[in-house]
Amino acid sequence: MKIRTSILTFAFAFGTVAASAQMVPVPQQGTSGTGSTQSGTSGYGTNQQGTQKITNGPVIEYTSDNSAMIAWSTKTPAGTYLAYGTDRNNLNQRTQKGWGGTNHRLEIKNLQPNTTYYFQVRSENAQGSGADVQSNVASFTTVAKGAPHNRENRNVGVKGEPMGSSSDMIANGPMLEYTSDRDAVIAWTSKTGGNMSVKYGTDRNNLQNTANTTDMGGTNHRAKLSNLQPSTTYYIQVQKDGQPVADIVQFQTVAAGAPPKRENTDLSATK
């Protein structure tokens, strides 16, 4: 019986997250919704009809002690979905982005240090054909607690045209240009431009606020973070088209009533 993707509104708990999301069955290796992945290296990452395929990746861009960044690209625009877990045969956790684009990138959060995780990427409902495609199951191991990030940029799948790692997209910064007891200004330069923003919050693993830029698609970007609290550490992450393209970095607001700081501090050293 063919499993069909359905749209459901439901409480989807990863930690404390509840959202309206697309319910997608955890894919089993060798199967997919509208086209099955072929076994063997010749058919890897291509659905039976040949209308959709993974053209590069998945690539493990980096791992830390509590997160990992996975990226891949597809022939035509499609969904961005990843299943993962510590049991190769039970990928019971999921993360995903909205539909669209041929370059896909997802950050897996709330991981345990020095632990091996298995994962499988999936891009669904390809533009023009509705086809699905998925990767084989691959693995990575998080670093020890407090250890530096492992920026291996390791391709564990199709070795096609490089898509550029997340760190390759930032030419300079992010810089903390200004901070007061209530707001801050973050600036950076990207290599390609595009629709960029900053996610921020007081919990490194839950950046629930968004500050949009005012540059209208150029390569020099600036975003103002408002409604902050005095003497508080904030974590930020630069995003492009809603997907992370830089490490999580941090800064601290000044004390209540203290003069604003105009330091132009490079935050890349605080990751």
Query: Do 42 and 109 have their domain in common?
Result: yes
Q: How many domains does the chain have?
A: 2
CA angle 93, 96, 97 (to 5 degrees): 165
The answer to whether residue 67 scores a pLDDT higher than 60 is yes
The answer to whether residue 85 scores a pLDDT higher than 50 is yes
The answer to whether residue 143 scores a pLDDT higher than 90 is yes
What's the gap between Cα 35 and its chain centre?
A: 26
17 within domain boundaries:
no
- Greater model confidence, 199 or 5: 199
Final residue in a domain of this structure, among 92, 127, 158? 158
**pLDDT tens digits for 238-253?**
887 666 777 788 999 9
Domain with 72, as residue range(s), is 27-158
Q: For residues 5 and 28, what is the distance between their CA atoms, to the nearest angstrom?
A: 14
The answer to whether residue 7 scores a pLDDT higher than 60 is no
The answer to whether residue 38 scores a pLDDT higher than 50 is no
- Greater model confidence, 194 or 202: 202
260 within domain boundaries:
yes
Element (H, E) at 238: strand 233-240
Final residue in a domain of this structure, among 94, 124, 158? 158
44 within domain boundaries:
yes
Q: For residues 54 and 35, what is the distance between their CA atoms, to the nearest angstrom?
A: 13
- What mean pLDDT do residues 133-141 have? 87
pLDDT category at 86 given cuts 50, 70, 90 is: very high
Final residue in a domain of this structure, among 158, 179, 201? 158
pLDDT of residue 51: 60
